[in-house]
């Protein structure tokens, strides 16, 4: 009897629970929009919340949170690119179909901003269809529960004929990445998803992240200013002439201007006029070529000092002959990046620290640092005077063309009237080692505040005479301090100095003038049949 009573009680409890769950389901007694109510249809069966044709739209106005953007549509007729014709062809060219009219999109109030046009177009045209993920009800009598009685999040479509349509976006569906939505002209409630993602875009999302708009091969001038050391550098590319008057002009070489590469020939204009070291200049700009924003931070900033951009750490100005672009780089943003702003986009953005690594290049490395890089093929005589000694070298090294014409020609070196054709057993020339130490005089720094007394006798003097008709070359070193020498070429101070420590360098790859001189003189004295090996070798 007790067992039957337990079964009856359990049955009653179960029945009450079923009734309660049914009431909640039917009348939504929980007070929140249900998560799974509505009709699930295939994508073909689901009618969108709203759909308009792009050719009929004048504008799409989007309100979402603090975002407010107006997408303006303008129709245009695309044109086909020209087709190369063959004058020898006899058949008529196949007619090409006329392109269909299309729509271009701009953002009201941001017409001058450089935007990613592809992203803008895809987003604007994605807003033309408010797709229906699930239909909740076709005629709700309680829109407030979905946040759809009224909503600040909405899209207003203005058509060219003056008609308007409005879509309201309501609450987020609990437990799903969806939102309730409806056409403001009816009470049909659906859920949507992708349209909300598009509504959240601000002007910062559309700005073009590629900062430099013109190709690197068109760069005409480069200017770099650094706050830390007040370095101010300007370089200008030689103008490119595809049809030079002089076909032997090396600056009109076919490789002078190559797509995707910086020009080969540059002159520095500031802080002094001199040829540029193109390799180091290429290193400097290699990271600027693809300079892009990590992300944009603020449009039309009112306080540049907040980002260190009122007095930037770096300022880079690029021109292509008709356009100019200034990029300022300010404070570190605390995430391994730096704040920056460009003159062609009035927005602060973050730039990777990798893109600024080469901006701290040592000043002298942007210039041609060679005192006189004279090819030994063309030098017939070198007179070197230093430490009270004068060395007169007579030189003959046949050029490859000369060897082609006469394979009996041999190189020959005479120093102060003596045979200097001495080598190691591995056929390493001690004369060439000495010659390399002289032509290898390379500037170690800039000094534009001081200059040598050219009326005084130089500490080092190297005079080159050429056998190919080139003018003589003169290199002098004047003492600057205990550690360096002013560099003077053809009686003109070049604004650079040479470290004295280089003169005693014992490393084989950068052998200094003093050890190179000692090795040559020793080898000339002790060579047997023109061969001598130093004990350490």
Per residue in 89-100, pLDDT tens? 666 667 777 788
pLDDT for 468 equals 83
- List strand residue ranges (DSSP E) for 366-417, in order: 379-386, 389-396, 412-415
Mean pLDDT of 363-388: 94
DSSP one-letter code for 49: S
**At 122, is the secondary structure helix, strand, or coil?**
helix
Decide: 310 and 487 in contact? Cβ < 8 Å.
no
The two structure tokens encoding residue 155: 């899209």
**In the block, residue with structure tokens 């359990």:** 10
Is the pTM of the predicted complex or chain greater than 0.95? no
Mean pLDDT of 130-138: 92
pLDDT for 176 equals 86
Q: Is the pLDDT of residue 252 over 70?
A: no
pLDDT for 354 equals 85
Mean pLDDT of 222-231: 94
- Which has the minimum average pLDDT: 116-125, 298-307, 528-537? 528-537
Rounded CA-CA distance 189/176 in Å is 16
- Which has the minimum average pLDDT: 4-13, 157-166, 359-368? 4-13
Percent residues over pLDDT 90 in the chain: 69
Mean pLDDT of 398-415: 93
Average pLDDT, the chain: 87
Q: Is the pLDDT of residue 194 over 70?
A: yes
Closest CA to 185 of 160, 163, 167: 167
Is residue 81 very low, low, confident or very high in pLDDT (cuts 50, 70, 90)? Answer: confident
CATH number of 50-79+100-206: 2.60.40
More confident residue, 21 or 362: 362
More confident residue, 287 or 514: 514
pLDDT for 31 equals 43
pLDDT for 35 equals 44
Largest Cα separation within the chain, whole Å, is 137
Range list for CATH 2.60.40 in the chain: 50-79+100-206
Decide: 257 and 270 in contact? Cβ < 8 Å.
no
Q: Is the pLDDT of residue 397 over 60?
A: yes
Is residue 21 very low, low, confident or very high in pLDDT (cuts 50, 70, 90)? Answer: very low
pLDDT for 86 equals 64
Q: DSSP alpha helices (H): ranges in 48-116?
A: none
Rounded CA-CA distance 264/255 in Å is 8
pLDDT for 226 equals 95
**In the block, residue with structure tokens 């230093």:** 386
Decide: 406 and 496 in contact? Cβ < 8 Å.
no
pLDDT for 256 equals 52
Decide: 276 and 262 in contact? Cβ < 8 Å.
no
Mean pLDDT of 241-265: 56
DSSP string, 288-339: HHT-B-SEEEEES-S-GGGGT-SS-SEEEEEE-SS-EEEEEEEEE-SSSEEE
pLDDT for 258 equals 59
Rounded CA-CA distance 351/335 in Å is 10
pLDDT for 259 equals 62
Q: Is the pLDDT of residue 247 over 80?
A: no
More confident residue, 395 or 353: 395
Q: Is the pLDDT of residue 246 over 80?
A: no
User: Residue 483: how many CB atoms within 10 A of its CB?
Assistant: 11
Q: Is the pLDDT of residue 85 over 70?
A: no
Is residue 213 very low, low, confident or very high in pLDDT (cuts 50, 70, 90)? Answer: confident
Percent residues over pLDDT 70 in the chain: 85
Report CA Rg, the chain: 39
């Amino acid at each position: 009897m007790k067992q039957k009573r337990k079964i009856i009680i359990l049955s009653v409890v179960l029945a009450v629970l079923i009734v309660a769950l049914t009431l909640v389901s039917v009348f939504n007694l929980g007070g929140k929009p249900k998560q799974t109510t509505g009709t699930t249809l295939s994508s073909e069966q689901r009618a969108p919340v709203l759909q308009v044709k792009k050719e009929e739209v004048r504008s799409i106005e989007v309100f979402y949170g603090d975002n407010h953007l107006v997408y303006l549509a303008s129709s245009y007729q695309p044109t086909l690119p020209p087709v190369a014709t063959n004058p020898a062809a006899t058949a008529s060219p196949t007619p090409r179909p006329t392109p269909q009219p299309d729509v271009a999109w701009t953002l009201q109030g941001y017409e001058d901003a450089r935007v990613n046009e592809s992203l803008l177009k895809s987003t604007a045209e994605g807003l033309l269809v408010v797709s229906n993920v699930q239909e909740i009800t076709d005629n709700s009598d309680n829109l407030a529960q979905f946040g759809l009685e009224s909503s600040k999040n909405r899209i207003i479509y203005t058509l060219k004929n003056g008609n308007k349509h409005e879509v309201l976006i309501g609450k987020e569906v609990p437990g799903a990445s969806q939102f309730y939505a409806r056409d403001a002209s009816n009470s049909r409630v659906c859920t949507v998803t992708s349209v909300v993602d598009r509504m959240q875009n601000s002007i910062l999302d559309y700005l073009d992240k590629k900062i430099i708009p013109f190709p690197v091969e068109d760069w005409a001038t480069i200017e770099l200013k650094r706050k830390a050391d007040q370095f101010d550098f300007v370089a200008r590319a030689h103008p490119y002439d595809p049809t030079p008057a002089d076909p032997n002009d090396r600056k009109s070489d076919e490789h002078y201007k190559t797509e995707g590469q910086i020009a080969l020939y540059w002159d520095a204009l500031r802080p002094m006029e001199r040829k540029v070291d193109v390799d180091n200049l290429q290193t400097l700009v290699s990271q600027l070529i693809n300079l892009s924003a990590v992300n944009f931070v603020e449009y039309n900033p009112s306080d540049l000092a907040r980002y260190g951009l009122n007095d930037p750490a770096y300022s880079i100005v690029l021109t292509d002959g008709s356009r100019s672009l200034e990029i300022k780089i300010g404070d570190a943003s605390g995430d391994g990046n730096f704040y920056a702003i460009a003159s062609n986009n009035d927005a602060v953005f973050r730039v990777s620290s990798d893109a600024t690594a080469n901006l701290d290049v040592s000043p002298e490395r942007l210039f041609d640092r060679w005192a006189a890089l004279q090819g030994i093929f063309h030098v017939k005589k070198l007179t070197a005077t230093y430490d009270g000694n004068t060395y007169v070298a007579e030189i003959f090294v046949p050029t490859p063309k000369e060897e082609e014409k006469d394979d009996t020609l041999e190189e020959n070196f005479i120093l102060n009237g003596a045979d200097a054709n001495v080598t190691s057993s591995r056929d390493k020339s001690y004369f060439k080692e000495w010659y390399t130490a002289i032509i290898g005089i390379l500037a170690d720094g800039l000094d534009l505040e001081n200059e040598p007394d050219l009326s005084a006798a130089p500490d080092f003097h190297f005079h080159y005479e050429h056998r190919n008709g080139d003018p003589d070359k003169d290199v002098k070193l004047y003492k600057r301090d205990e550690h360096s020498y002013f560099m003077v070429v053809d009686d003109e101070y070049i604004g650079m100095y040479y470290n004295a420590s280089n003169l005693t360098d014992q490393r084989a790859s950068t052998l200094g003038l003093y050890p190179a001189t000692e090795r040559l003189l020793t080898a000339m004295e002790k060579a047997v049949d023109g061969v001598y090996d130093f004990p350490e070798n």
